[in-house]
Amino acid sequence: MEMAFSFSSRACLMVVALLMGLCIGTPTAVAAGRIDDGLEVTWGNGRGSVSPDGQVLTLSLDRTSGSGFRSKDTYLFARIDLQIKLAPNNSAGTVTTCYFMSEGPWEIHDEVDLEFLGNVTGQPYTLHTNVYTNGTGGKEQQFHLWFDPTTDFHTYSIVWTQQHILVLVDGAPIREIKNHADHGVPYPASQRLRLYGSLWDAEDWATQGGRVKTDWSQAPFVAQYRNFTAADASPAVAGGWGYGQEMDATAQQAVKWARDNYMVYDYCADSERFPQGVPRECSMP
C-alpha cells in the first residue's frame, strides 16, 4: 500500500475531521503548560527526557533498553489527546505506544491500546488497536497510516466513555468499541486507568509478523510526544461533548473511510482464528 494518498481522499478526511471538531467540540484540558505537569518519565535510565521548555517529551530506544512514561493521574472515563512524531527511516521491529491500563493484577487488568508498529523504509506504519477487559483482549484492528507520521506531529486520541471507546486520528474517528455489557460482552467500566507511553523493541512480532528484524545501525530510535491533554468523560459531563450513545453520520463516515481504505486486519473477519464463529459483538450493531 502506498503511504501517499490522493487529493480527494485527503480532502475528504480533512472535511470529516473539521466537521467532527465542530459537532463534538474540544474538551477542556486538565493538563496544560509543561508536558511534565501531566506525564512523568518512569523508565529507560535516561533514555526518556523532557525538553528544557517543558513542551516535548522524548523517548529513545537502543540495543540495551527502551523507555517510557505514565500519567500522574488516573481516570475513570476520559478523553486523552496526545501529539506524537514517530521514529523516522527504517523503524522495523520498534513499537511506539500510547495506552490506558489499570494498575491491578494482570489477570484482571483493563487496557485500551494504541501501538504504532514500525516498518522498513518507505512502508507505512501500522496502528494496532486493542481492548482488554478483566485480562482478556483479542479485539485487534490494524490500520496503515495514510500519511508519513515521522515528518511531523499528528494527534492521536482515545475517548473512553460509559457508552463506547473511540480511537481518533487528527480528530477523525477510525474505530468504535461499543459497550455491549448488557449483552454479556465485557467492557472496561469499573477500574481506573492510567495513561502510559513507551518505545521498545518487539522484533519477534512487530513488523510483518516478525519476519523483519530491528536494524540496530539505525539506533537510537527516537519518538517525540507533545500537547498532552486529558478531560473528564464521566457520565455527568460526557454529554456536554456531544458523545452520545451512537455516533452521528459524520463520525460514521469517518470510520467507514478508514475501514474501507486503510484497515489491514480486523479480528471480526478472521475466520481462521475463530473457526467456530467470530465473537458475539461482531454481529451487534
- Is the pLDDT at 29 greater than 70? The verdict is no
111 is catalytic: yes
Give the position of cell 520498534: 94
40 is catalytic: no
- Is the pLDDT at 13 greater than 90? The verdict is no
* Domains located in the chain, CATH noted: 7-271 (2.60.120.200)
- Is the pLDDT at 7 greater than 50? The verdict is no
Which member of 40, 115, 140, 203 is catalytic? Answer: 115
Which member of 2, 40, 107, 111 is catalytic? Answer: 111
Rounded-to-integer distance, Cα 187 and Cα 159, Å: 14
Higher pLDDT, 251 or 3: 251
Give the position of cell 461533548: 241
pLDDT digits (tens, 9 = 90+) for 150-207: 999 999 999 999 999 999 999 999 999 999 999 999 999 999 999 999 999 999 999 9
Rounded-to-integer distance, Cα 222 and Cα 44, Å: 13
Task: Using alpha carbons, select from 215, 220, 241 the residue that is nearest to residue 21.
Answer: 241
pLDDT digits (tens, 9 = 90+) for 47-96: 999 999 999 999 999 999 999 999 999 999 999 999 999 999 999 999 99
Task: Using alpha carbons, select from 285, 68, 67 the residue that is nearest to residue 183.
Answer: 285
- Is the pLDDT at 22 greater than 50? The verdict is no
Q: 228: which residues sit within 8 A by CB, 6+ positions away?
A: 31, 35, 38, 39, 57, 80, 81, 82
